[in-house]
Structure 1
Amino acid sequence: MSLRIDRGLFKYDFIDHHAILCVSVDADVKEIRKRYLKIARHLHPDSSSITTQAEKKLASELLSKLVNPAYETLSAERTRSEYIIVLSQMGKRLLQESASIELTTDLAKQLASAPNIDLVYKSAIAKIAETQYNSLKEAITIISQISELNLVYLMRTAGKNFAPPAAKPPVNSAPPQPKQTPAPPPPEPPKEDSSVEQYLRRAQTLIEKNQFPPAEIELKDALKISPKSSRCHSLLAFVYMRQNKLKMAKIHFDNALKLDPKDATALAWKPKIDKVLGQQSSSSNVKTPANTGDKQPEKSGGGLFGGLFGGKKK
């Protein structure tokens, strides 16, 4: 059985770990661990009630290739932080491509027009979780359905309004009334230049693969075209941060917040960078007593990522 998934967020070269575990995209670590343990007990050969060899083999593959990697990513602070940042950018990316997105499941279509998005979304996730891995042959299909729910939820929370389905005209309706001049449609929100969006998509793909130097080049080119794009500044700052270029990251996070005070990536990471840069400044001002014969303390080369990601400053 193929474990390939090509619907929902998976369609955009994104591994939807929340869909694999069937938890909401804003689930905390405690919820994620509880859900993982329940799935693992069901799929693990030492605790599973599965009897046939074919199903045992499939259960083992689902556990080792999908469930375990999903839990490892979402439970560790470093990988979870990186994953959530990329996930938050997915909503903006999907808004740009919303015209080409086609929903295939009834649940996703209901969620697209639901007035209470959070209630309907979390109720649907909880309901599916009850039986997600009961039929192992249907597991990939169910993960696809959950990922499509996650896609709709991200788009709705990013500002997408799906048009409700057109109502059918009633039979034997009254004679048509004279047509009135329709009101002009509201102006569409400004869209980023299409060429800039191409740079951003390429950069996003490179970031997801941890290829930060080429992502930096793409984003610098994007800023040449659109220097007032908060999204460009924010992503470039994140790329600088992942390379331990903290001063450059701070500059671009500052620029992103000037252009968009609600930028989620900048709000999440700029305080941490400010704190580390402040600590480095304080450390550099400490003077070693003269003629004591003592060695000067070694400097930490890890910067922000000595405590978060590891790695050396480039």
Structure 2
Amino acid sequence: MSFQIERGLFKYDFIDYHAVLCVRVDADASEIRKRYLKIARRLHPDSCGAANDDEKRLASQLLSKLVNPAYENLYQDRNRAEHTAVLAQVGKRLAQDPSSVELTTDNARQLAATPNYDSAYKNAISQVSKIQYKTLKQSLEAIAQISELNLVYLMRSAGKSLKSPSATNATPASHTNTAVENHAAPAKPKEDPVFAGYLRRAQELIVKNQLSQARVELQDALKMKPNSSESHSLIGVVYMKQNQIKMAKIHFDRALQLNPKDETALEGKTKIDKFLKKTSPGAGKKSTVSAGASKSAKSESGGLFGGLFGGKKK
């Protein structure tokens, strides 16, 4: 059985594990585990209380293909940190072109318009969680609704003032395709979808630690836009994860030339400077440079952006 969801973050070829479990994007390990156990009891064949064999099969498929993978990707601190780091990047990119985002639910439209979006987001997630897997055939619809809420929350967390047109226009929400609009700044040119695709795929590949493929995507992105600070900073991440310190430094430096406020490049540059200082021949024992250099590079790269630089070379 194939589960297709084409709303919210799923629309951008991103698997929204937080939506599958109906937890906030800032949920910690204990919240995630508590929610997972509750859903697992509801869907497990021995305890689901399904009315017939079809419902039992559906419950089993939801558990094995959606819920279990979501838990596996979110419960471990490092995996969760990498996943949420990419979520933040996706939200930031979509916030740059909010007119391209369609919202199909009243909850998402209200979240886009309300001033106190953080409290509204938490309340909405709490309410939907009560019914998410109550009716199994409506579970995918509930996941899609949650993913729309996550999408709006991420965009607003990116620092944008967003507002839903349906909240101010007289046209009923049910008769209009609503887009999130940015009323705080002039409209920006629409981002090239091909270029955006390179970045999106690269970010997803970095999370999966498929570094060679991610580098290919980013090299193609740089061919299209050589002066993209985001592309340079992301390929710096890839080189850092592969322990190619010199190449990572070159791209972080270039990203900062293009955008001195690039957070990824700033943090990466700080890590590299710290590592080079520790492994410098004049900084201490020579053994630090020789036998311990490779090990030190890996340990220094761990933890950055919640482990985004960590991982084995591929």
Give the TM bin, normalised by the shorter chain. 0.7 to 0.9
Confirm or deny: 8 A CA contact 1:240 1:248 kept in the other structure. Answer: yes
User: Match of 2:215?
Assistant: 213
Q: State the AA in 2 paired with 1:311.
A: K
Equivalent in 163, 178, 188 of residue 186 of structure 2: 188
Return the alpha-carbon distance in structure 1 between the equivalents of residues 42 and 266 of structure 2.
Answer: 39
Return the alpha-carbon distance in structure 1 between the equivalents of residues 121 and 78 of structure 2.
Answer: 27
Superposition RMSD in Å: 3.3
Structure of higher CA gyration radius: 1
Confirm or deny: 8 A CA contact 1:222 1:232 kept in the other structure. Answer: no
1:248 equivalent to 2:247? Answer yes
Return the alpha-carbon distance in structure 2 between the equivalents of residues 113 and 126 of structure 1.
Answer: 19
Q: Give the match's secondary structure for 2:5.
A: coil
User: Match of 2:129?
Assistant: 129
User: Match of 2:146?
Assistant: 146
Equivalent in 200, 203, 218 of residue 204 of structure 1: 200
User: Match of 2:232?
Assistant: 233
Deviations 1:143-185 (Å, cap 9, x if unpaired)? Answer: 001001111112222215225434549xxxxxxxxxxxxxxx9
Return the alpha-carbon distance in structure 2 between the equivalents of residues 244 and 141 of structure 1.
Answer: 43
Return the alpha-carbon distance in structure 1 between the equivalents of residues 274 and 34 of structure 2.
Answer: 33
Q: Map 1:1-314; keep pairs closer than 5 Å.
A: 2-50=2-50, 52-158=52-158, 159-165=160-166, 166-168=168-170, 188=186, 194=191, 198-209=194-205, 210=210, 211-224=213-226, 227=227, 229-253=228-252, 256=255, 263-266=262-265, 269-281=268-280, 286-287=285-286, 297=291, 300=294, 303-304=297-298, 309-312=310-313
Q: State the AA in 1 paired with 2:197.
A: R
Confirm or deny: 8 A CA contact 1:215 1:239 kept in the other structure. Answer: no
Q: State the AA in 2 paired with 1:235.
A: L
**How far apart are 1:68 and its partner, in Å?**
0.9
Deviations 1:91-131 (Å, cap 9, x if unpaired)? Answer: 12213442232211111111111111001111000111122
Confirm or deny: 8 A CA contact 2:277 2:283 kept in the other structure. Answer: no
Return the alpha-carbon distance in structure 1 between the equivalents of residues 274 and 67 of structure 2.
Answer: 35
- Residues 101-110 or 241-250, more deviating: 241-250
Question: Given the superposition, is the C-alpha separation of residues 287 and 99 from structure 1 closer, same or farther in structure 2, using an over 3 Å criterion?
Answer: closer
- Residues 108-117 or 43-52, more deviating: 43-52
Unaligned runs of 5+ in 2: 172-182
**How far apart are 1:133 and its partner, in Å?**
0.8
Return the alpha-carbon distance in structure 1 between the equivalents of residues 273 and 37 of structure 2.
Answer: 38
Return the alpha-carbon distance in structure 2 between the equivalents of residues 186 and 21 of structure 1.
Answer: 33
Confirm or deny: 8 A CA contact 1:200 1:218 kept in the other structure. Answer: no
% same residue: 50
Please report the TM-score for the alignment, with normalisation by the length of structure 2: 0.77
**How far apart are 1:26 and its partner, in Å?**
1.4
Return the alpha-carbon distance in structure 2 between the equivalents of residues 31 and 257 of structure 1.
Answer: 37
**How far apart are 1:218 and its partner, in Å?**
2.4
Confirm or deny: 8 A CA contact 1:111 1:121 kept in the other structure. Answer: yes
**How far apart are 1:261 and its partner, in Å?**
6.2
Q: Give the match's secondary structure for 1:204.
A: helix
Question: Given the superposition, is the C-alpha separation of residues 27 and 266 from structure 1 closer, same or farther in structure 2, using an over 3 Å criterion?
Answer: farther
Confirm or deny: 8 A CA contact 2:7 2:147 kept in the other structure. Answer: yes
Unaligned runs of 5+ in 1: 170-184, 289-295
- Residues 265-274 or 147-156, more deviating: 265-274
User: Match of 1:177?
Assistant: none
User: Number of residues paired by the alignment?
Assistant: 286
